[in-house]
Structure 1
Amino acid sequence: MDLTPYVDNLRQELAVAAEAGGDDARALAERLTAPLESATRLTLLNALSAAMGEVTRELAPGSVDVRLRGLDPEFVVTPPPAPEPFRETQEPVAAPAAPAPPPADADDGTMARINFRLPAHLKSRAESAAAAEGLSVNAWLVRAVSTALDGGRQASPPGRGKDSGGRGFTGWVR
């Protein structure tokens, strides 16, 4: 995006305003326009960056970034991923191959942290499902991922969930 027309327009507007003040005001305006060009460009870039931040919040998980090429900004648009079309199959679906058994050291107690962005409507559904089973959202998500990866063979831990008969505890301990 070329900012030059906008900067030139501001320079012309300043010159027109200075004409009303006479020769001294016009001379001052001419001396000020050159140093004001960089400040004007910087202000326009700040406004564009803020605007693209708002667009990105509305477009999530897509985004719009502003990059500076020379003196002019460039917009980089990353569209949200297109949903895969639903295909109804009439053919019988083969049973998935049995997943490989987890390695012996799979449950060594280490944890990995990830950031997980979830649309608000799915977040509220996950919170409701976790609450219905007496689990934290994190525990529910861990179990859902484990079940998905293990082909549905994962059972809930003993003493947890809605069949625990009230034996489960939640909260923090010091």
Structure 2
Amino acid sequence: MELTPYVTSLRTALNAAADAAAADVREAADRLSYAVEPSLRLTLIEAFGDAAAEITTQLEGVSVDVRMRGGNPEFVASDERMDAHYAMPEPPAPPAPPPPPEPDEGTSRISLRLPESLKARVEEAAAAEGLSVNGWLIRAISQTLDGAHTGIQIGPQGVNVNLGRRITGWAR
């Protein structure tokens, strides 16, 4: 909300009131009108804040705030009921590590050669999830083969967020 028209209106009214007086009084009134501008702006902003607080107490589930943007106040109303309705769901818990192999199921060894940069990323990802590199690789391969991995990659290093195939929510 631009405050300049209101400040200009007060300045004009003050100068109009001083027009009937002598030249030195008119000059003093003009100087005074410029000197009180910061105080007037602050007083208006305080009044807007008080009004927003009073409106908030009278409206159930609605919050009205006054925020400053570029030196000018801005009113923001938010409906807590809508916020709760459209809130993003909690991200799903990370998948559990794969179950250990059955006792009668043997394990086999495989030799895997990775570029150093990829190896470092695998080690980082495993450490972040509290798994060994081997456990992390087993889980990643199992999920890929079982079709459970439907996440998306976000960020330069690719942080995996498993959102499934459907994204819902509300953004401002």
Q: TM-score range by the shorter chain?
A: 0.3 to 0.5
Larger radius of gyration: 2
Q: TM-score, normalised by structure 1?
A: 0.45
Q: Larger strand proportion, structure 1 or 2?
A: 2
